[in-house]
Amino acid sequence: MENRRTNVGLTSEEAAKRLAEDGANVTDEGKKVGFVKMFFAQFCDLMIVILLVASALSFVVAIVGGQTSELVEPIIIVAIVIANARRIAGVPCREVPCRIEEAYVAQNQGGA
């Protein structure tokens, strides 16, 4: 005994009618967001700004205080922030996650 539901979905005629009236069910690809724009978009996050300001203050305090050994922490913080921005911007990155991140950045910047 075959368990089949034939009344589910559109009929071929209804699908053809809707296709003619509304067009195909596709979205626009939109303008592609460039690497540089994606890279710098990462620095708009409040936590990233706080980290960069804190590392800049730590750097200034270490220079003014003459404690060159204290320069390691702000340099490491800035290096991690840049590495994170590169990772999110797609370097290196597989194709599908890059497209998802590009769409997210474009959406949050009012882009395509």
Question: Model pTM?
Answer: 0.48
pLDDT in tens, 31-85: 777 777 777 777 777 888 898 999 999 999 988 988 888 888 888 988 888 887 7
Task: For residue 3, give Cα distances in angstroms to 6, 74, 107.
Answer: 10, 66, 44
CA distance 42 to 48: 8
Peptide bond into 92 cis (omega under 30): yes
* Mean pLDDT calculated for residue range 98-111: 64
